Structures are given as C-alpha cells and as structure tokens.
Amino acid sequence: MKRLNALTLAMASGLALSACSSIPTYERPDAPVPADWPAGAGYEGQESTEIAATPEWRTFFRDPALRELIDIALENNRDLRIAALNVEAFRAQYRITRADRFPGVGVEGSGSRQRVPDALSPTGDSYVNSQYGLTVGVSAYELDFFGRVRALSDSALQRYLATEEAQRSARIGLIGEVALAYLAWRTDEQQLALAEDTLQSHRESLDLIEASFEAGVASALDVRQARTLVHQAETQVARFTRLVAEDRNGLQLLLGTGIPADLPEPLPLGEALLAELPIGMPSDLLVQRPDIRAAERQLLAANANIGAARAAFFPSIRLTAAAGTMSDELSGLFESGSGAWSFMPQIHLPIFTAGRLRANLDYAEVSKDIRIVEYEQSIQNAFREVADGLAARGTYSRQLQAQRELVATTREYYELAQQRYDEGVASYLTVLDARRNLFATQQQLLNDRLAQLSSEVRLYKALGGGWATEAASNS
C-alpha cells in the first residue's frame, strides 16, 4: 500500500509541475478599419448606434413562405450538415489532444510458463519456470514542465472553436442564400407574368391591326411592326419560363429537398417583406461576425503552436511506473510478500537537431503572422460588405421612386401615342417605340426592387445575421 501511495504521489507531483507555459501573451490586433462608417454622397439617412444587435432571422424575414423554406434548408442542406460534422470531428481531435495532458492509468495482467532444458539449467536438470503478475501503472506519461503538451491542447481547442464559428457562418450564409434565391424566384415569376400579359396585349393589338389592314385602314408595315412586338414578347416569355424553372432548381438544391406544395401565402414583394435593420459601429462586427471570430480563433491556435515549438527546446521527461503483485503461482498473486513495483523515468535533452527545432519555431511564428493578416483581412472584408450595404440602402429608395415615376410617365406616353395613332395623327412606329419602352421600364422596376431587397439581405448577413440569438436558442 505504501508503494501505491508513493506512485500516486509521483503522478500528482508530475501534474502539479506541469504548470509552466511557453505560449506568448496574446494581444488582439487593432482593427485596420475606420472607427465610423463612410459618410457623404450615397450614405444619406444612415445613423449608427453604439449598441446594435441584428434581429433573429425569423423576425427579420416577415414572409411566412420564406421562413418555412429557411427552416427546411436548415434541417436538410448538405453543406450545413458537413459543417456540423466538421465541428464534431474537431471536437474529437481536441479531446484526443487534451487527453495527453493526463496520465493514462491501466491495469495489466500477465502470465508465462517456460520449460528450461537440461543443457540450459544451472543444475543440469530441466524445470518449468512460471510467472504471473497483476500491475496498475502509467506508461510513457510526459511531465509537461515547459507546457508543450498544454500548448498543443490549447491549439486544438482553438481550432475546434474556430470550426464552431465556421458552422455559424455557414448557417448565416445558408439563410441569406435561401432568401436571395427565393426573392429571385418570386421576381422572375412576376417577370414571367408581365411578359405573358404583354404578349397577350400585343396579340390583341396584332389582331386589330390585321383587321384594319384587311379593311384598308392600316398598312402592311403596321402589321409587320405589330408582329415584331409579338415575337419579342414570345421571346421574353420563353426566357422567363426558363429562369423560373432554374430558380426552382437552385432553391431546391439549397433546401436539400423539394419545395413543398402547401407553402403559406407569400407576402407581396416590397419593403414590408423585411424588418428594419439597426446599424451599429464597426467595432460591433468583431462580436457579431462569426467569420471574424473564427479567424481570431485560428490566430489563437497559431499563438499556442509557438508555445509548443518553444517548449521543444527544453528537456522532456517521460514517466513509466507500475505497482502490483507478482508470483510464480497464480494462486499466490494476492499472498503476503508478492508486492512488486517499477519506476522508469526517461529524460531527453536535444543537443543537435541540425536546425530542426529552430525551423519549427520560425514556421510557427510565420504561421501566426499569416493568421494575423487573415484576421485583419476578414475585418476589412466585413467593413467593405457593410459599407456597400449602407450605400445601397441610401440610394435604392431614391432609385426605386424614380423608376416608379418613369414607369408612370412611360405608360402615359404609350397611351397618348396609341390615341394619336387611333386618330391618324401618329404612325404605328411611335406606338411600337412606346410599348417597348413601357415593357422595358416595367422590367427594370422589378429588377431594381429585387436588387434593393437583395442588398438588405446581404447587409443583414454582413452585420452578423443575428447569429448570437441563434446560438443562444440552440444551446
């Protein structure tokens, strides 16, 4: 029992001595972006607040059909599943590395019987040698005096946490991509409906022109021009029919399954489709953007690797120890006097490694410098994405209003041109030009509205997408 206590004391001493650390003190790099968002032309009406949290996606997206599609995607999307499995894989790797910080205690039983022949026996007579043993001990446990094992464990922990942040980033990205695909699908459906209505109107006009031609009122040129409008509209109908089908295919790929036939009634495409977004300060991105947090976790992992590379210059001590009982008979393992123990410490001191240790340290330090640049770059990219979103928010409202007025003016121009043609004052070429302009401006209004809604979705993603709320609700 005393020997077992001595072994336990030796193991505890090794753990207590494993308190030194060679990991450099971490200091977060300064954010290489301005303290405020851009101002001036294109950013009118933008107000920043000191504290702002992006709303949870179910609050931001008000369309019930879109919310149901996002729920389906979060459950079935294969890329998101891969991201989740990567988190599980890195969690297992961290647990493996962390286990090296503690001694592995095992029980080993052994037994052997050997016949020694006459020629090899000290007495000249053959005999049978028996040996049985039962021991408890540790094998090749490294006493982490200089923090090498702990540094490797910390590095694995930070890589695992980085994959968690990457999973959150993938979740935000998927939500945004489903929303963008849904908006494109809905817009192309409206473009198709507009093209079909325009085609029907052109066909009716062609029928009237042909009747007027047979009556000798319209010319053959008028008929050809009317047919031109019909063929152009037919081309647009075919085009948007194809785009709607492609939009459905792309959306189904994001969902990971088919689009339900019983989706809720969607809201009309417009500003009411999305909730208002509060705009915080640039520094808020460090907390709200999981890709920035993932980059910092990778930086922390690289910083811990420097500690492991530094510790490799110092001696390493490994301990193998065991205590138990041994006997030449199986029945005598637990008899008095059968106790046995072994204690085998090993020390390794690097003397000449041909520069390998120095090169490993240099590599670790350069890797950290790379991670610093990547971290700073992720902040700059985030700042640019938000700034672009603010510029879009500051200009799209005016652009949409101007386009609506242009559509109204073009419609009046078309109606006036049609009236003048019916009165015999203007040629049908004027009517043809007016119809083309009206159709083009109506299409552009739909495209501008899609661009405005898409820019709001991208701004939502750029601000962090409400991932903190998501993480809290899923924990």
The order of strands in the sheet holding 316-327 is 105-116, 127-143, 316-327, 339-348
Tell me the mean pLDDT in the region 114-125.
80
Q: Please count the other Cβ atoms lying within 10 Å of the Cβ belonging to residue 44.
A: 12
Res 47 pLDDT > 70? no
Q: Are 34 and 282 in contact (CB under 8 A)?
A: yes
pLDDT band per the 50, 70, 90 thresholds, residue 466: low
SS3 (DSSP) at 346: strand
Q: Which residue has the higher pLDDT, 101 or 157?
A: 157
> How far apart (Å, rounded) are the C-alpha atoms in residues 2 and 240?
86
Res 165 pLDDT > 70? yes
Q: Are 181 and 69 in contact (CB under 8 A)?
A: no
Res 1 pLDDT > 60? no
pLDDT at residue 332 in the model: 72
- Residues 250-302 pLDDT 10s: 999 999 999 999 999 999 987 688 988 888 788 888 888 899 999 999 999 99
Per-residue b/e over 398-432, b at no fewer than 16 CB within 10 Å? Answer: ebbeebeebbeebeeebeebbeebeeeebbbebbb
Would you report the helix, strand and coil content of the chain in percent, each value rounded to 5? Answer: 65, 10, 25
pLDDT > 90: what percent of the chain?
44
Res 393 pLDDT > 90? no
Res 86 pLDDT > 50? yes
pLDDT band per the 50, 70, 90 thresholds, residue 14: very low
pLDDT at residue 472 in the model: 43
Tell me the mean pLDDT in the region 423-429.
81
Res 212 pLDDT > 90? no
Q: What one-character-per-residue DSSP string does 266-320 give?
A: PPPSSGGGBPPPP---GGGHHHH-HHHHHHHHHHHHHHHHHHHHHHTTS-EEEEE
pLDDT at residue 327 in the model: 77
pLDDT band per the 50, 70, 90 thresholds, residue 9: very low
pLDDT band per the 50, 70, 90 thresholds, residue 51: low
- Residues 436-460 pLDDT 10s: 899 999 999 999 999 999 999 999 9
pLDDT at residue 305 in the model: 94
Beta strands in 29-157 (DSSP E): 105-116, 127-143
pLDDT at residue 189 in the model: 95
Q: Which domains does the chain have, with CATH numbers?
A: 31-101+144-315+350-474 (1.20.1600.10)
54-68, 145-159, 325-339: least confidently modelled range: 325-339
> How far apart (Å, rounded) are the C-alpha atoms in residues 64 and 266?
6
- Residues 19-40 pLDDT 10s: 466 889 999 999 898 888 888 7
- Residues 173-192 pLDDT 10s: 999 999 999 999 999 999 99
Q: Which residue has the higher pLDDT, 124 or 261?
A: 261
pLDDT band per the 50, 70, 90 thresholds, residue 330: confident
> How far apart (Å, rounded) are the C-alpha atoms in residues 222 and 225?
5
Tell me the mean pLDDT in the region 374-398.
91
**Chain mean pLDDT for the chain:** 85
pLDDT at residue 52 in the model: 59
Tell me the mean pLDDT in the region 67-91.
90
Res 2 pLDDT > 70? no
